[in-house]
Amino acid sequence: MCKRMKSFAVLVALLALISAPFVMAGGQQDSSAPAGDSGQVVVTIAAGAVGQELELTKQAAAEYTKMHPDVLVKVLDTPDLSDDRLGLYLQFFESQSPEVDLYQVDVIWPGDMAEHFEDLYQYPGMKEDAAKHFAPIVQNNTVDGKLVAMPWFTDAGLLYYRTDLLEKYGFDGPPATWKELETMAQTIQDGERAAGNADFWGYVWQGNSYEGLTCDAIEWLASNGGGTIVSPDKKITINNGKAIAALNMAKGWVGTISPKGVLSFGEEDARNVWQAGNAAFMRNWPYAYNLSTSDESAVQGKFAAAPLPAGDSGKGAAALGGWQLALSKYSNNKKVAAEVLRYMAGYDVQKMRAIEGSFNPTIKSLYQDKDVLDATPIFGTLYDVFINTTPRPSTATAPRYSETSKIFFTNVHDVLSGKKDAATAVRAMELDLKDLLDYPTGSPE
């Protein structure tokens, strides 16, 4: 999949993306609007490619062009890892590039990126559209009263598990606690290896040094009562015993129930091991559900999804994820791009993406849509997980969230790889965050 070098390659490719004369919709010439080969207005979306994202975005883009022949919607493939994608976006923003009109942005970015995006409320129909989405996500995307991004799909961390193997080894259901997961994973791993599958592992997850590790590690911390790095009232809480215990727990998985290579895993790396039938458990996002049911999947008909296990807090925690669509301030064709955004984030496209790609809708009424629930039953059975997620401290640390997260995931990765002990790592995080944010310290709530 896409790696760091891809950011540069994509940027170079964009230089040749739009070279035809510029026209407005309806054929009127205008130097500010890019045009396609047939005199169409061109709207370019920078989109993701994890799982079926790119395919489904292209499908919706083609449908819009079919309905509006005077508009050509192009889709730009961007890096899989959110940190690499962020780096690419910052290059566009720094140059105030008009070459991308719509950006797919992470749920943690609106506060940091607001200056580069249009206030969607100034465009027709946007207020009415926003009212159809989950209010907390709309609020997350609202900065100083301006809606800088429309919710597109939401995410929550889930535990995928092999139903056939739990039954085979005498377990009644998925693990309720991390300790139970460790026991089940080790038992199943030992048994499957003894049966001849030397590549089998108990548990795979996202351990690379990137934003995905922040999501996983916040789930460990929060489920153990160790807080979420920085509290909503802007106190640095990372240096506490429950956080240390959670990090030590995860470190114990590496090389035992999880491969050492998990320290380089992103979402797709974990899914590939899981979908090949070589893992008992996987932490991932809902997008992996439909892919795991495909005819090419070795786990088809042999798995289910459940809430993530609990630690000492007595309950599990699922990191809030998800992506939004934002309209660039540097677009030369904002009105047309705004209409494309409304379509892409609207009911019909969200329904298609939910059915074909198991991307969680942000439009509330879709969770009562029979077609959606028939295609992806977890949207009904795990609805409470999706609406009771654990957010990362992006609001409390804006506009310094990206730096906050890098301090966190870099130190967590050092613990997992054995470069630092957990107590040293959380002290280092606390000091670095105090220098970065100038916030006081406190205890987890």
Confidence of residue 32 (pLDDT cuts 50, 70, 90): very low
Quick one: which of 74, 13, 83, 11 has its CA closest to 44? 74
One-letter identity of residue 413: H
Q: What pLDDT is recorded for position 126? A: 98
Q: What pLDDT is recorded for position 411? A: 98
Q: Is 17 a residue whose pLDDT tops 60?
A: no
Same domain, 298 and 344: no
Same domain, 303 and 197: yes
- The CA-based diameter of the chain, rounded to the nearest angstrom, is 71
Pairing of strands 158-162, 279-284: antiparallel
Geometric angle at alpha carbon 429, from 428 and 432, rounded to 5°: 85
pLDDT tens digits, one per residue of 182-208: 999 999 999 999 999 999 999 999 999
End-to-end CA distance of the chain: 39
Q: Is 23 a residue whose pLDDT tops 90?
A: no
Q: Are 121 and 147 in contact (CB under 8 A)?
A: yes
Confidence of residue 1 (pLDDT cuts 50, 70, 90): very low
Residue whose pair of structure tokens reads 């379509």 in the numeric block: 343
Same domain, 144 and 176: no
- Please report, rounded to a whole number, the percentage of residues in the chain having pLDDT higher than 70: 91
User: How far apart are the C-alpha atoms of 274 and 332, rounded to whole Å?
Assistant: 44
Q: What pLDDT is recorded for position 301? A: 97
> Which of 293, 319, 345 marks a domain boundary?
319
3-state helix, strand, coil in the chain (%, to 5): 45, 15, 35
User: How far apart are the C-alpha atoms of 325 and 105, rounded to whole Å?
Assistant: 6
Q: Give every strand in the sheet of 303-306, ordered side by side.
A: 201-204, 279-284, 158-162, 303-306
Which secondary-structure segment (H or E) carries 381?
helix 378-381
User: How far apart are the C-alpha atoms of 383 and 62, rounded to whole Å?
Assistant: 31
Same domain, 197 and 55: no
Q: What pLDDT is recorded for position 7? A: 42
User: Is 410 among the domain residues?
Assistant: no
Q: What pLDDT is recorded for position 29? A: 30
12 compared with 243, residue with greater pLDDT: 243
User: Is 438 among the domain residues?
Assistant: no
Q: Is 3 a residue whose pLDDT tops 60?
A: no
User: How far apart are the C-alpha atoms of 254 and 259, rounded to whole Å?
Assistant: 6
Backbone angles phi, psi at 133, to 5 degrees: -95, 165
Backbone angles phi, psi at 107, to 5 degrees: -60, -20
Q: What pLDDT is recorded for position 35? A: 52
Confidence of residue 254 (pLDDT cuts 50, 70, 90): very high
Q: Is 386 a residue whose pLDDT tops 50?
A: yes
Confidence of residue 38 (pLDDT cuts 50, 70, 90): low
User: The domain that contains 27 carries what CATH number?
Assistant: 3.40.190.10
Q: Is 31 a residue whose pLDDT tops 60?
A: no
Same domain, 211 and 134: no
Same domain, 141 and 285: no
User: Is 373 among the domain residues?
Assistant: yes
Confidence of residue 395 (pLDDT cuts 50, 70, 90): confident
Q: Is 55 a residue whose pLDDT tops 80?
A: yes
pLDDT tens digits, one per residue of 348-378: 999 999 999 999 999 999 999 999 999 999 9
Mean predicted lDDT score pLDDT of the chain? 91
- DSSP assignment of 137-188: HHHHTEETTEE--EEEEEEE-EEEEEHHHHHHTT--SS-SBHHHHHHHHHHH
Query: 3-state DSSP call for residue 13?
Result: helix
Give the residue numbers spanning the domain of 136: 5-148+321-387
Confidence of residue 36 (pLDDT cuts 50, 70, 90): low
Same domain, 296 and 217: yes
pTM confidence score: 0.83
Q: What pLDDT is recorded for position 37? A: 56
Q: What pLDDT is recorded for position 81? A: 82
- Please report, rounded to a whole number, the percentage of residues in the chain having pLDDT higher than 90: 84
> Which of 268, 295, 319 marks a domain boundary?
319
Domain count, the chain: 2
Same domain, 283 and 230: yes
Burial class (CB in 10 A: 0-12, 13-18, 19+), 376: buried
- DSSP assignment of 257-326: TB-GGGGG--HHHHHHHHHTT-EEEEEE-THHHHHHTSTT-TTTTSEEEEPPPB-TTSSB--BEEEEEEE
Confidence of residue 220 (pLDDT cuts 50, 70, 90): very high
